[in-house]
Chains A and B, each alone.
Chain A
Amino acid sequence: AQKVTQAQTEISVVEKEDVTLDCVYETRDTTYYLFWYKQPPSGELVFLIRRNSFDEQNEISGRYSWNFQKSTSSFNFTITASQVVDSAVYFCALSERETSGSRLTFGEGTQLTVNP
């Protein structure tokens, strides 16, 4: 069965520090998709990135970067030069095309606090 593990429950950093959020997944499908969402205190889940299982290229978007490694079943997320506005809960999620259709399986989330 599919599973997503975010081992870091809470992370606290000081502004301008770099921080990496870990995500490890389990799946039997060969075709799957991985996502990161941000949930600020307002509660709405904000989409950040989507990767498919055939594309292992790392991606950078401004201060955000993602490292996808199939060999270790990991999809880690790094924020460079963190800012107070980055404080939120971050969720990693998995969608399996063959086994479970369209549903997203989420990890437990990592609460990131960036202190001024």
Chain B
Amino acid sequence: GAGVSQSPRYKVAKRGQDVALRCDPISGHVSLFWYQQALGQGPEFLTYFQNEAQLDKSGLPSDRFFAERPEGSVSTLKIQRTQQEDSAVYLCASSRPGSTDTQYFGPGTRLTVL
């Protein structure tokens, strides 16, 4: 596809449920990023992959958050035992090789935890 795609666009979960959010980057983009955007705030970094290697996961807020990119393309962000404070928009971005190339963002997944 032409841009970064994410699914689902909206997800409602009951507290305690596990969720999985998918990101399909722009074809050929080596780098992939996940960000969390709370309502009315700027996005905050969660984690970064270069190909299948997770090079930085320092932004993951707890061990309930886990991300993977096993084949160096599609990535999944998993949140276990969701809590209300996990409610946010989760944004995925990809960029070409080169650590400081421009990041292009997907439409995001809006997660609501009840």
**In the bound complex, do residue B56 and residue A95 qualify as a contact, i.e. CB atoms below 8 Å apart?**
no
Chain A residues whose C-beta falls within 8 Å of the C-beta of B108 in the assembled complex? 43-44
Q: Whole-angstrom distance between the alpha carbons of A74 and B94 in the complex?
A: 26
**How many whole Å from B57's CB to the nearest CB in chain A?**
11
Interface size class, chain B: 20 to 34
**In the bound complex, do residue A107 and residue B99 qualify as a contact, i.e. CB atoms below 8 Å apart?**
no
Is A33 an interface residue, CB under 8 A from the partner?
Answer: yes
Asked whether A50 and B102 contact (CB < 8 A) given A103-B33, A105-B45, A108-B42, the answer is yes
**In the bound complex, do residue A103 and residue B102 qualify as a contact, i.e. CB atoms below 8 Å apart?**
no
**In the bound complex, do residue A45 and residue B102 qualify as a contact, i.e. CB atoms below 8 Å apart?**
no
Most buried by B among A33, A42, A101, A109: A101
Asked whether A101 and B48 contact (CB < 8 A) given A43-B108, A45-B91, the answer is yes
Chain B residues whose C-beta falls within 8 Å of the C-beta of A91 in the assembled complex? 42-43
Chain B residues whose C-beta falls within 8 Å of the C-beta of A50 in the assembled complex? 102
**In the bound complex, do residue B42 and residue A102 qualify as a contact, i.e. CB atoms below 8 Å apart?**
no
Is A35 an interface residue, CB under 8 A from the partner?
Answer: yes
Over the window 56-98 of chain A, the binary record of Cβ atoms lying under 8 Å from chain B Cβ atoms (1 yes, 0 no) is 0000000000000000000000000000000000010101010
Is A25 an interface residue, CB under 8 A from the partner?
Answer: no
Is B104 an interface residue, CB under 8 A from the partner?
Answer: yes
Most buried by B among A42, A46, A105, A106: A106
In the complex formed, the residue of B with least CB distance to A96 is B100
Q: Whole-angstrom distance between the alpha carbons of A46 and B106 in the complex?
A: 9
**In the bound complex, do residue A103 and residue B45 qualify as a contact, i.e. CB atoms below 8 Å apart?**
yes
Q: Whole-angstrom distance between the alpha carbons of A72 and B95 in the complex?
A: 29
Is A13 an interface residue, CB under 8 A from the partner?
Answer: no
**In the bound complex, do residue B43 and residue A106 qualify as a contact, i.e. CB atoms below 8 Å apart?**
yes
**In the bound complex, do residue B105 and residue A97 qualify as a contact, i.e. CB atoms below 8 Å apart?**
no
Supplied contacts A50-B102, A101-B99, A103-B56, 17 more A-B pairs, CB within 8 Å = A4-B42, A42-B107, A43-B107, A43-B108, A44-B107, A46-B105, A47-B104, A93-B42, A95-B100, A97-B100, A102-B31, A102-B33, A103-B33, A104-B45, A105-B45, A106-B43, A108-B41
